[in-house]
Amino acid sequence: MSEKKQSVEEVMQKIDQLLDVLKDISQDLADISKALKTARAPSPAPITAPAPTPVPTPTRQEDGSPKEVRALFPKELEEMLFFEDQDEYF
């Protein structure tokens, strides 16, 4: 019977030791949490995309002839494009 009492007492001692360790860990975590909260940078403002700038629709009167517009493109790209002359647009 004394062995059983002794083992129960040992278990209780170990539980007390574990509780002490857990208290220390809990205090350390609380300290770390406080330090992180004070060191945390303020949250950045939400990123918003800039408003798209409206692109005016080119007309023949504004931009000139199809030759002038073709001259704006590199030769390789110009060969791939097809310009059709219409009343208001080309």
Whether the Cβ atoms of residue 87 and residue 58 lie closer than 8 Å to each other: no
Q: How confident is the model at residue 57 (pLDDT cuts 50, 70, 90)?
A: low
Q: Shortest CA distance to 70 belongs to which of 56, 61, 55, 81?
A: 81
89, pLDDT greater than 70: no
Identity of residue 50: P
Question: Does the pLDDT value for residue 88 go beyond 90?
Answer: no
The residues spanned by each domain of the chain are 1-41, 58-90
Task: Tell me how many degrees the CA angle 34-35-39 measures, rounded to the nearest 5.
Answer: 120
